[in-house]
Homo-oligomer: A and B are copies of this chain.
Amino acid sequence: MPAYAAPLREYRFVLHELLGLADRQDVPGFEEVDEAVVDAALEGAARVAEEVWAPLNQSADDEGCVYENGVVRAPSGFAEAMAAWYAGGWNAVGVDSRWGGHGLPGALASCVSEMAMSANLSLSTYVGLSMGVAGTLMRIAPDAVRQLYVPRLLSGQWTGTMNLTEPHCGTDLKLMRTRAEEQADGSYRVTGTKIFITGGEHDMAENIAHLVLAKVPEEGEGLAAVSLFLVPKYKVNDDGSLGPANGVSCGGIEHKMGIRGSATAVLHYDGAEAIRLGAKPKPATAGDGKEGKRSSSRGMAGMFTLMNAARIGVGLQGVALAEVAYQNAVTYANERLAGRALSGAKFPEQPADPIIVHPDVRRMLLHIRSFVEAARALSLWLMFRQQLAQRSGDANEKQASQDLMNLLTPLIKAHFSDLGFDCANMAMQCFGGHGYVRDHGMEQFVRDARISQLYEGANGVQALDLVGRRLPADNGGPVQTLFATISALLEEEADKDELADFTGPLKSGLERLMQATMWLAQNAPQDREQAGGGASDYLRLMGTVVLGFIWTRMARQALTGLEANPGERDFYEMKLATGRYYMARVMPDTAALLDRVTAGAGTLMAPEAAWF
């Protein structure tokens, strides 16, 4: 059975050394946040993840969820493991204390949630979505509603879901058929079928709060008619007690490649009682050019906020699975004997050397590690920077950090889930044929990691979002902020010889990214297919460069650590070695990616559809 140990030293490096998160008691809300508090939270969550969650990962995959007569049974042990997580408040590390959370920095909460995902991705989906729903209700539900729902969602008494997809439409929400009809009392009734509802039905909570997108037909056509509704599985009385079943039934669950412990439900809404979230749109005035085009309602905006948060979470799933797969690959590479080091036997007393002596095995391990450490650091850096700016109230910094987060959200989702899958797969490759055998658990990591490239908007859609919406937003302000941030680092470190292995490749990568951006700016406005054709390669190009940026920052920090703390020489040397691998062996991809973006969409669009 695979093992998992939370990478606490890595978390501490990023949180304490790179971000200085425990030195910001000057910031409102972080007055109590010191190293001891942070470390205690990391260690407490790690114990539950390692000892309670991880041991259930493989058995849950074997067992799967079971659907019978409308009821879904989660895998054995899940309810208890989920209760243990909620009992420690590990679901609510970052939640404001006025809602009963720990009120700790979001970057710390992200580490805790990464542990949950590494230990048991299936189980983490129930908790993650419930917290997303709680957060949405905190922001946009009427006070009476959130007082009823939020505490119960935070305690794990209830769980929550997001309902977007229908059998015939996913990404293209304007094709949606589920409809909501207003009742005389101002409530709504929702009717339609939703599919791919993660945690849509199960036996681990008393109630389930479904956030449902549905059309109010009289309010417009297509997307303009779509609003957000809260539909509980059981009706909720004013005192929070449960009433009778609402009109929601589970029509079945999907049999999937992976995350088999996560119930992916088909939900039929049959005039289910619903609460509208956010105000009704103002009716469009005839002739004002906004017919059928109203600005997003607060409800839809709430859903988009939730979707953006979910995208970051899905990106981190890639990091989490690559991390746990890496750990097991290292163990195997140290134990499995085959062949001899090319430079001569390292363990002549053994019949063969462990395979970690082989350069190609090290290549795979370093590749995974160079992704995991940078991806984690980048997302924590973005989160912490944004949260600091929000709390400190510096308007420029608030704009800059918000710009970066907006720009990079689809990139985190797609690039991290793509690489997370590739890396889980590479870790499996280290096992040779044994990786293909279910007992070792490596192939489960691969199957589980695969979902993140698909849900929350398939990665091609993320790329189009980046190139089509986020890049041109605000006249390119956000991407200029990114370029300026990277350039500033390069200027700061220009003379530091010991960082030349980093700054050199980063500079080339940035130049290529700027060229590709310029090419898109020049070509996409006249021909949107140029944006679509280059989108995925552009996203990967930007992703490769931003991870190179954070590697350069980590390398600088590691040099400082090496000097300040020679007792941990191995840790810092490995940090630098891993970064050097990235700069020498991953950054060169930027050349090919630039070539692909600027190759244009002509070769893609030339063939007639029938020729395929």
Contact = CB atoms under 8 A, between A and B. Distances in A.
Given A255-B438, A458-B432, A612 B363 contact: no
A611 to B, nearest CB: 4
B351 A536 contact: no
A165 B356 CA distance: 20
Contacts of A339: 171-172
B333 A529 contact: no
A484 interface: no
Interface stretch (A211-219, A268-276, A598-606): A598-606
A172 B338 contact: yes
A324 to B, nearest CB: 15
Contact of A533 (B196, B357, B359, B450): B359
Interface string A554-588: 00000000000000001001100110110011001
Given A358-B532, A609-B334, A588 B595 contact: yes
A168 to B, nearest CB: 7
Given A175-B351, A175-B352, A592-B588, A604 B362 contact: yes
Given A352-B172, A432-B171, A595-B588, A443 B257 contact: yes
B611 A433 contact: no
B596 A580 contact: no
Contacts of A599: 584-585, 588
A37 interface: no
A285 interface: no
A358 B435 CA distance: 36
A538 to B, nearest CB: 11
A544 to B, nearest CB: 10
Contacts of A458: 429, 432-433
A531 B169 CA distance: 50
A248 B93 CA distance: 58
A353 to B, nearest CB: 10
Nearest to A258: B436
Nearest to A222: B351
Contacts of A460: 358, 360-361, 364, 429
A468 to B, nearest CB: 8
A543 B178 CA distance: 50
Contacts of A581: 603-604
Given A338-B170, A460-B429, A529-B342, A574 B436 contact: no
User: In the complex this chain forms, how many copies of it are found?
Assistant: 2
B360 A170 contact: no
Contacts of A425: 450
A446 interface: yes
Interface in A436-456: 436-439, 443, 446-447, 450-451, 453-455
A360 B463 contact: yes
B532 A360 contact: yes
A609 to B, nearest CB: 5
A82 interface: no
Given A356-B609, A429-B453, A453-B429, A257 B446 contact: yes
A77 to B, nearest CB: 21
A301 interface: no
Interface string A405-437: 000000000000000000001000100110111
A47 interface: no
A1 to B, nearest CB: 14
B432 A610 contact: no
A604 B358 CA distance: 9
Contacts of A589: 592
Nearest to A326: B612
B528 A175 contact: no
B436 A450 contact: yes
Contacts of A352: 169, 172, 174-175
A365 B611 CA distance: 11
A164 to B, nearest CB: 11
Given A360-B533, A589-B592, A608 B172 contact: no
A588 B577 contact: no
A607 interface: yes
Contacts of A363: 533, 536, 604
B433 A454 contact: yes
Contacts of A601: 359
A293 interface: no
Given A256-B438, A433-B458, A603 B591 contact: no
Nearest to A532: B359
A337 interface: yes
Contacts of A463: 360
A254 interface: yes
Nearest to A431: B454
B172 A447 contact: no
A532 B362 CA distance: 10
25 contacts: A169-B352, A172-B337, A175-B338, A175-B352, A256-B438, A257-B436, A257-B437, A334-B612, A342-B528, A342-B529, A342-B532, A356-B612, A357-B609, A360-B536, A362-B533, A363-B604, A369-B612, A433-B454, A574-B612, A577-B606, A578-B607, A585-B596, A585-B599, A588-B596, A589-B592
The 4 closest A-B pairs by CB, nearest first: A588-B595, A359-B532, A257-B443, A342-B528
Given A342-B532, A584-B596, 4 more contacts: A168-B337, A169-B338, A254-B438, A359-B604
